[in-house]
Amino acid sequence: MPPLGPALARIKRDRIKAVSLEGGGEPSVRPDLLATAAKLRAAGVEHIMLSTNGVALADMELCREAAAAIDQFTVNFPSHLPEVYAAATRSVKYPQAVRGLRNLLDLGVRERLRVFHIISSFNFRALPGFAAWAAENLRGAGLVNLTFVRNAGRARGEDGIVPSYSEAAPFIKLALARLKLAGFKAVVQNFPLCMLKGFEGFSFEFQRWSRGDAVFEEGVASAADCAACAACALAPACFGYRTDYGEIRGFADLKASRIRPSSIKPERF
């Protein structure tokens, strides 16, 4: 998290009502986490979101205090399998991450909990199993977001982290189907609509488009030029071809579609 002083000044000046605590390392391990939340409230913030790996929330007392001070929790949880979690995170704190999730659910956070599951070469084949695990262990969570990894940040240039769209698509679809049958709200993010035939309504970017919002969130680069995307009827509502993906996987996966976005029914979100 950035230094609080300048942030508080801007919050007051611009009357900002929603703040996300993230960046600059894991925010839940900061000793001033709860004090920060209190200062944000005093500055007029009405909605506070914490982006976390959930590990520190294995401490029930901290979790209880955080649940009372924070409105929404976004927990990055990359696998239900300990060995895959360790490979994806380079951490052995899988038991603590699971405990943190369960503590949040036990405290009644539930609808205020969003679970982000980053899809990578480490875990895409295990996506259907993750959906089954979620049905048993994350019942009541507000949203499960399956987010396709970007060739960026710590992952940039790392061989084998980014699977191809065509490799991952069947597993993503099966996971989405299982999550829906289990009663979850679920979306897939950073993934082209042409690869989600029959499941386009689960697309996060399509959901934004269907609400009348811009397809891309603020700060996310727009789609790169691509012949298949240029000829695709889905383009106005689609995440499209990503420059960072193309650098390592090329264009071959993408297929222009004749499906009109207006014909797609958005899933419950």
Does residue 11 fall inside a structural domain? no
CB-count exposure of residue 170 (10 Å: 0-12, 13-18, 19+): middle
Within a domain: residue 168?
Answer: yes
| Residue 109 scores a pLDDT above 70 | yes
pLDDT at 1 over 70: no
Confidence of residue 7 (pLDDT cuts 50, 70, 90): confident
| DSSP summary character for residue 157 | T
Sign of CA dihedral 42, 36, 95, 150: positive
Tell me, yes or no, whether 32 lies in a domain: no
pLDDT of res. 128? 98
Answer yes or no: is 179 within a domain. yes
Mean pLDDT of the region 86-113? 96
pLDDT range class, residue 157, cuts 50, 70, 90: low
| Angle, helices 94-106/60-69, rounded to nearest 10 degrees | 50
- CA distances (Å), 256 to each of 166, 187, 208, 241, in order? 14, 22, 21, 11
Q: Which residue has the tokens 């942030």?
A: 7
In this predicted structure, the answer to whether residue 150 has a pLDDT above a threshold of 90 is no
What is the reported pLDDT for 88? 92
pLDDT tens, residue by residue, 27-73 = 999 999 999 999 999 999 999 999 999 999 999 999 999 999 999 99
Which structure tokens are listed for 76? 């990055």
CA distance 229 to 55: 40
pLDDT higher for 102 or 239? 102
268 within domain boundaries: no
Per cent of the chain over pLDDT 90 is 74
Does the residue 239 lie in any domain? yes
What digits encode the pLDDT tens for the residues 208-231? Answer: 999 998 887 776 767 778 888 889
The answer to whether residue 150 is domain-embedded is yes
Tens digits of residue pLDDT in 14-27: 899 999 998 778 99
The total number of structural domains in the chain stands at: 1
pLDDT band at residue 5 under the 50/70/90 scheme: confident
Residue 150 belongs to domain spanning? 53-263
Cα distance between residue 81 and residue 24, in whole Å? 27
Query: Does residue 46 lie in a domain region?
Result: no
